[in-house]
Amino acid sequence: MIDDLDRTLAALLARDLPSTLVKQVAITFATPNDQFPPQGVRLPALDLFLYDVRENRDLRRVDPQVDRRSNGTVVQTPPAVRVDCSYLVTAWASPSSSTPAYDEHRLLGETMRVLLRYPTLPTTVLQGTLVSQELPLPTTSLQQGHLQNLAEFWQALGGHARATLNYTVTIATQVADPVDLGPQVTKRKLNMME
């Protein structure tokens, strides 16, 4: 499911970034460490590093969904668990660039415009299992992420601090299968006159 979210974000950026950028920029989900770019990734690149996955308790539901089928049976589905997937977005200039900071900031700025455009991911770019999700996939852009200290983060990765964007998408996942409760029970009134 998370891989489908990665593919969805890549599709969104490929669709909405200016065509001049899309043709020259690689989109990757690699760790932005001192070994970046990984083998097979060319620069310039836009990197969306998934650094945090956690349950969104604000959107937690506890009541199961009960569906009555046309054949008279009842199916109970446990509520989906909502999960925040937080990305750290960085831009990486071509090694031949004479203005790497400018190029990276331009790419981050264009990416920011795309991500801010959609408070929920558009259904037209959803990939794989995300296509069948009944709940919308809300996004949060440019809010404080779950990283406590960016300087420590970059130090831990062995890299140098860079300009970043925080981006979070909330997906839903079913953790239990629906339960068939059998035929629907109905109340009947007793006729006391009988």
58-88 pLDDT, tens digit per residue, is 877 667 666 677 777 777 667 778 899 999 9
Return the higher-pLDDT residue of 192 and 137.
Answer: 137
pLDDT of residue 87: 95
Is the model's pLDDT at 174 over the cut of 80?
no
Rg (CA), the chain: 23
Is the model's pLDDT at 171 over the cut of 60?
yes
Return the higher-pLDDT residue of 49 and 191.
Answer: 49
Q: What residues contact residue 99 under an 8 Å CB cut-off, 6+ apart? A: 93
Question: What's the pLDDT tens digit per position in 4-14?
Answer: 999 999 999 99
Distance separating alpha carbons of residues 192 and 194, to the nearest angstrom: 6
Q: Which two tokens stand for residue 151?
A: 């300087």
DSSP codes, 58-114: GG---SPEEEE-TTSEEEEEPPPEEEEEEEEEEEE--TT-S-HHHHHHHHHHHHHHH
Q: Using omega within 30 degrees of 0 as the cis cutoff, is the peptide bond preceding 183 cis?
A: no
Is the model's pLDDT at 154 over the cut of 80?
no
Q: Sign of the CA dihedral 144, 150, 153, 158?
A: positive
Question: What's the pLDDT tens digit per position in 109-135?
Answer: 999 999 999 999 999 999 999 998 877
pTM: 0.80
Q: Letter for the amino acid at 142?
A: L
State the pairing for strand pair 179-183/81-92.
unpaired
Q: Could you give the C-alpha distances from 15 to 79, 111, 133, in angstroms and in order?
A: 33, 11, 21
pLDDT above 70: percentage of residues in the chain: 83
Q: Which two tokens stand for residue 23?
A: 């043709």
pLDDT of residue 25: 94
Q: Are 178 and 80 in contact (CB under 8 A)?
A: no
